[in-house]
Each structure stands twice: as C-alpha cells, then as structure tokens.
Structure 1
Amino acid sequence: MSIDVNEAFAAGRERQAITARDRQGELRAGVEAGRLRRLPDGRYKVLTGFDAGEILSALGEPVHGLDEKARGAVALYSAVPAWHHLGQVVPGGTTDIDTVLSLAGIGFEVVTVPAFYLWDGRYLPHPGQRHTVRADTGQALGIVGPDYEVIQNRRSFEFLQELVSDTDAVWESAGSMRGGSKVFVALRVPGHVVVDPGGLDDRIVPFIVAINSHDGRSAYEVVATPWRPVCANTERLAVQQAATRWKVRHTRNATEHIREARRTLRLTSHYYDTWAAEETALARTNLAIDEFNTAIDELWPLEENATARQQRTAEQRRDRLHALFGEEASRSGRTAYAAERAVTDYTDHFAAIRPSAASGLKGNEPAARGLRLLEGTDDAVKSHAHQRLMLMRRR
C-alpha cells in the first residue's frame, strides 16, 4: 500500500505556516541541537534522520528540483520519507517494478515523430530529424537522428527486477527530471561497507542506479554509487580498476545490449570493497593545510594572467573549501578523508553553475544541480582529488 507523504506528514506540514521569525528560530534550534548545519551561503544541511544530506534554503524550504506529475504530485517514489515531504512513499520499499514506475510517474512510453519547420506559410519535414515525445502528454523531449532507438523506461529498468527477485535488494527511489527527458531508478544493495573500521566507522550503503534519457544527447547508464538520489551527496569515484559505470547508446539493438549490463552488477561488490579500502587509507592520513591548498591549486589551476575577477573567484572558492574542510575535520580529524569530503561537498552544492536555455533548465538552479549529480558531471573533479590525495598518503 502506498502512502502520499503529503498526507502522512500533515502535522509536519503545518509548521510551514508559521511566521518567518518562528521558522528562523526553529532552524537555529536545529543547528544548536546538531540536526542541521548552516552552510556558508546561508542554506542548511540536514545531518540526522532518514534524509541526512538534504539541502534546505535559507528559509528552511527543501530544494528538490524534481518534476511534477500530471496530477500535481512530485514525480518521485521513495522507500523512506524525505525531509521535503514530497513524493509517494512505500515504507521499507517495494520489489515490484510496476509499482515503482507508477508511483514515480515514469511509466510513460516515448515515441518518435517527424520534425517539421515553418516555411512560407507551410510546415515542411526536416529530413534526417525526429522528435522524441511523451506518449501520455505529447511533450517534446529531444531531437534525434534517423538511427535513434527509444529505450522505453520499463524495458530499461525491468532487467534489474531479476536482481531484486534473487536477493534482498530493494527499490530505494525513482523519479523524473526535466519533464521526463531524464529518469532514474535506484536499488539498495544488501549489506554495507565501512570506512575506517574501529575509527570513524562511517557506514556506506551501496546502490545501483540506472539512468535512462530521451533527450537525444545522453546514453542509458548503469552506475554503482554510494549515493541515494533522493537527497545525498554523490561519492562516485574512479578507483583502481573498479567498474563504476556502464553505458548503452540509443542506437539500433540498444535494448538487446542492455542485457550486457549484468556484468556491471557482478562487479559492484568489487567496486565497493576497493572504494572502502581507499577511503579508509585517506581517513588514516593526516593532512597539513599547505597540502590541502596544493590539492586545491591542482584541481582549479589559476593562470598567471588571470583577471581580477578570476582571482576573486578563486579566493572565494578557497575560502569556502577551507570552511568545509574545517567543518568535516571537526568530525573526522584533519585528514585526507576530510579534504575529499570538502571537495565533494563543494562540487555538489556550492560550485557555480549557469543552466542554459538549451538545457531546458535556465533559471532553475536546483533542478540543474540535481541533474549534474545524477549524470555525474563533476565525477572527474572528484576522481582527480581522490587520486591526488591517495598520492599524498604515500608521501
């Protein structure tokens, strides 16, 4: 049985009607109690509960960037209640893909139709181009070529159903972004890994995320990631030959090639074991502030002829990274692990982004930032930081 979280959390929703002054008092109380952390830009980060990692605006309002379904509900399914009080929740999760597709609003099919342009009062076909269109709403999702093959959402995710059936894996979350041109499902894999056993004892729950697109610009992907798409930072890193990502392009026979993604699933445990071992090594490596500055300079090099504006931007970035490093160091010590967490936090929540009109997200920074997390736009920066810090471990 599904529960609409807007009803299940009616009592909590009433708090949103209080005055701005009372809300600020509640936020301050949350910070003092250790439930929230105020970020340098005035927003807040949730530290405890189901949705640790959730980002709130300066007014305490959730930042989600998810699509709205036709009936007005957010296009999101989750196995746990989220701080933003949005979406359809099945407590404990479900193992039925049809339930997930329905509650997340991603059960729609996609068709391709000819592309036309207006010329001299007439609509003429554009040779070699077609549009991908949602069959339920008629919304255009992208422009594609003649060889493009639609990978239907159900087909793209149903092969994971066997993993659910054969193990204790549970559908953790699913949702839609950018009008349905990008959809995802996430599986919570049984068990967990521990970073720095006996020390920090950071428990990491492994996930497999499948991402399908209909925009004509990106592939179908399966990703191994210590990240819950509902509301957390992504810790995806390319570590010593461990497979983290597998792609299928939208070309002829694409749906048949998806079956090969099973090999990614088989390699998932190897990835997490390797990841945890390397993160443990970083957690046991002390780091001087000069070494942290060196890593920052390598990640974001500043040209000798940099303008005054570029220099100010670099200084502001360094200040923010230092603040994030200090906050993490108070919990885990001044270690390479704390430095990596600072870089991850910065790229996920603070790095400047400028959504373009072409992306369909211009002016919607939360949605654009959420899409960057989903697509792994900053994975290269995080991996570079990880590799650089691993070298410092061997100094």
Structure 2
Amino acid sequence: MGAKALAVAFILGLWAPQTRAEPDVVGKAALLMELHTGKIVWTKNENERLAPASTTKILTALVALERSPLQQIVAVSDRAAATEGSSMYLRPGERASLEELLYAALLGSGNDAAIAIAEGVAGSTEAFVKVMNETARRLGANDSSFLNPHGLPQKGHYTTARDLALITWAAMQNPKFREIVSTRIRPWKGEGWKGTLVNHNRLLGDYKGAIGVKTGYTVEAGQCLVAAARRGGATYLAVVLNSRGRAIWEDARELLDYGFKNYALLEFVKEGETVLRMDIGGRELTLNAAAPVRYLVSRNRPTKPRYHIILDQLKPPIAEGEQLGEVVFGEGKRGLRSVALVAGVDVPEPGSLHIIFWIGLVAALGIFIHRRRKRRRPHRYRFSRRIRF
C-alpha cells in the first residue's frame, strides 16, 4: 500500500465513527450532491416530475447571468407589474438594473421581478422561456419543462430533483449567483416599496457553512428548497421537492448532515502534478494536471476513483503548457468530470535538435576563444601598469 493510500485509510479510520443513518425525508422527492465532484450520494424519487415553485428562479437567474450584463437597465412593463403572487410592487415604467432585479427575484422571490428579468434579457417572456428550456437541455436536465420564469402553477411546468440539482450545480459555478444567494439582507429602494430584502432561506446563519440557495412554495408544489453548505473543502447541495410546513428545513438539514458525516472529499491529484510520463522524440514528456482533482469517498467503504486518460496525437513540436489530453473521472462508463493534461516541458521537432546542437557547439567555441583572449590581455595590462608606475 502506497503512502497516499495509507494516509487515506488512516483518515477514514478516524472519521468512521461519525457516520450518520440514512436521511428521513418528508419531501416527495429529494437528492444530495457534492458540488466539487458532481457525485450524487443520496436520492429519493429523484426522477419524479414535480412542480418546482420559486426554485424555478434559479434557472431564470442563470440564463440572465449568462446572457446579459448586470448593469443593464430594465424598464418594467405593465405585464411584469401585474404579475400575481410574491411581489416587489414594481410599477409600470419603473427602471432597475438587472443586478437589482436578480436580488429581488432570488432574495425576495419577486414574481414581478422575474418577469421583468425575462423581458429585459430576451425581449419577451416567451422568448426567455425558450432559452430556459434550451439551457436546461444543455445542462443535461432533460426531464424538465419550464413555461414561466417565476414558478407559479401552470400545467406542464415541472422539473425533477435530479434536473434541479444539475441546474443549480451550473448556477453555483457563477460567482455573482453565489454572492446573491448567500446574501441574507439587502436594502431595496423601489418606487412602489422601499425596505429590506430578507433572504427566505432560513438555513443562512442558522446552519453551519450554509451558502444558499433558493426556497419555493405554492399549494400545488408544496414546500420546496434547494440548499447548499460548505465545510472542510466539501460543498453539498440538497434538493427537496413537495415537502410540507417546517419539515422542509429538517429535510434539508438531514440531507446535508448525511453528506458531511458519511463522506470525505480527498485530493487525488494536485494542480501541476505529473500524471503521465512519455518518451517523445528522444525526450521525456511529462503530462501534468491543469487543475486539482478531488474525489468523494464513503467513510465506511473507501474506494479509489475510476478514471481513463484521453490523449491527442502527440507530435513535436510541443510547447510547455500546451493541452495534450484529459483525464476523465467517473464511475463505471459514465464520466463525471474531466481535467486537462498539459505539457510540462518543451519538446522541439527532431530535426531541430541537430540545429540546436550545432548552434550550441558554435556558441561554446566562441565563448572558449573569447575567454582565452581575455586571459592573455590582463597580463599585458598589468605589465603596462607596472611600467607606468
């Protein structure tokens, strides 16, 4: 057993007593994912189609952040101002930046703000919804159908716990999104209402390491929550759909606790660490990881990650830092993530080695002759100085 394997076994041995029993989740569907690896560690009816309520706004925000600048000024339409449900009391003709509207939609859960975002980004709600569904498909959320940007009940508007996790995983990679959903309070100065936006996510400040993300509720959808927390390098995402009352908060806690107490995030390869060595053109080529590689292991059943290496055609000249392939990590045949492999050294063309040799030889001879001449000159110089004195 290597040193790295021994260290892993020792660490897991220390942690094993902390393991937690399976979560007892009231929600109709639920899922727990570790965000660094994308590994799903616990599920309940994760593929069942359910109404997502205001967790829809996670996708709304992601689309807006991908397509428009935060400084864009949006004029509130009559349609946006008249939107039912949770409201920021926006008025027709009122102007607000996209950034402020995103805070209004994600913290205050304003449905009017969500419509204003859609119209400002895509020109119309219908056009925006089309982009929402295209984005969902791109992210692998293939079992969802979004018909509006706010999540109010509408026949045919649904998602799954798995799809919502994939969408949120992508959104959490955006720094601005992370900043917004982790904000607890923020002042709001609208024309129809002035006050303080208070994040509906009660876990913020109440659950250790909580960093977001979004709540939702309608009679049809029940209590919905997507929650994330970070501790010790690991970040877990809990999705709960169709729970009830205060049970939604305990559902999320159960899931997050289960992740932190039953799994450990370990580093398989450091950034810049050599993954592979090869002989190319008579020179050793090192292939290094362009980013750190972390993997999740069960504290009870530690296993090493499965991976395979994909290489481009390796033909000199090769420049240091040039991407030459990737390491794909996953379970079985399904790759979960990949890390680029880059050249650790320059590898010139074979013919150029001869040129470099002769240039080096000529340069060495020139230096040798120059030094020989310098050795003679100082004797004459010192001799002449002695005569002068």
User: Could you tell me the TM-score, scaled by structure 1's length?
Assistant: 0.22
- Report which structure shows greater RCO (CA 8 Å, sep ≥6): 2
TM-score, normalised relative to structure 2: 0.22
